[in-house]
Amino acid sequence: MLPDSAQPPETAETPAVTDNPPVTSPRPRLSSHRRLIKDILEVLFLVLTIYTGVNLATARAIVEGRSMEPNFATGQLVIVNRFAYFFSKPQRGDVVVLHNPADRCKDVVKNRSLISLPFVNQDNSVGCEDLIKRVMGLPGETIQIIGGKVYINGTELAEPYLAEENLCPSGCDRAFQLADDEYLVLGDNRRNSYDGHSFGPIKRELIVGQAWIRYWPLDEAKVIPHPDYGTVSTTPIQLPTNTPSPTPGPTSPPDASNYTGSFKVTPPGR
C-alpha cells in the first residue's frame, strides 16, 4: 500500500466527445418589407375607421340661397351634427338641416346614402337638396304668424337676430296647430324663404341634424349660437276662425338658387 504521498492524483472526468456540433439559436433577422406593409395597412384601417365615424356623426355642407340671411349666406361652410337629436329633441331656435319635404323628393331622400363618398356628388336631383331652417314651433304648440311676428300659444317671440328688411309684414300670415310629432321651421329671411309658410309643419324624421359650427369663411368661424326667447306660454290656445290657414307652397321654388336656402354635402377636405 502506497503512502498517501504516493497515491496518484485524482483527475477530472473528460467529457465524451460526440460528432454532433453544438446547437445554436438562429440569429433574428428583420423583414423591413413585411413590417412596412403591416404599418401601411394599420394606418389605412385607422384612417378608414375615423373617416367613417366622422361621416356618421357629422356632415360638411355648403349654404346655397338667401333664405337664412342675414345670419347665413351663400358659400358658407357648416358642420352638421347628426347625433344632436339622438338623445334629445330639437329646441326652439335651433338651426337645423332637414330633408326637402316636397312629395317629389321622397324617393330622392329615401335613396340618399348616409355616408358621403370622396369627390362623389350623390344627389343628382335638382331641387331636392336638404334645407337649412330655424326651428320655431314645437310639438303640441299653437303657432300664429301675424304681420311678420311669430306667436307661440299667444306669446310673441322676440327675434333680435332678424333684420327688419327680411320680415314679411303682409301676405305671410299663417296659423298652425302642431301635432305631437310635428315641428314648424322658418327661414330667417321671411320675405324670401321656402319654409313652413309654404309646406307647413314637418315630421321629426325629416330633420337630419343641427347646424353646429360654421367653419368658413375663417373670419366668421364659430359655434352657431342659440337664441334665448325667455318665457313662452306652454298652454295651447284656440285658433280664431278668421286666421288664415296654411296654403300649399309651390312644387318647386321660382328661383331655387335664391329662394330655398339649401344645403349640399361637400367633398371631404373642404
Query: Where do the domains of the chain lie?
Result: 59-265
Active site residue ranges: 67, 133
Contacts of 195 (CB under 8 A, 6+ apart): 67, 131, 133, 185, 186, 187, 261
CATH architecture of the domain 59-265 equals Ribbon (2.10)
Mean pLDDT, residues 56-75 taken together? 88
pLDDT band at 55 (very low <50, low <70, confident <90, very high): low
Mean pLDDT, residues 48-66 taken together? 78
Report the alpha-carbon distance of residue 232 to residue 265 in Å, rounded.
35
Report the alpha-carbon distance of residue 266 to residue 247 in Å, rounded.
33
pLDDT band at 1 (very low <50, low <70, confident <90, very high): low
Mean pLDDT, residues 183-190 taken together? 96
pLDDT band at 111 (very low <50, low <70, confident <90, very high): confident
**In the chain, where does DSSP find H-type helix?**
32-57, 106-111, 196-199, 256-259
- Is the pLDDT score of 39 beyond 90? no
Higher-confidence residue of 110 and 66: namely 66
Mean pLDDT lowest for which of 90-94, 122-126, 173-177, 238-242? 122-126
Mean pLDDT, residues 22-34 taken together? 65
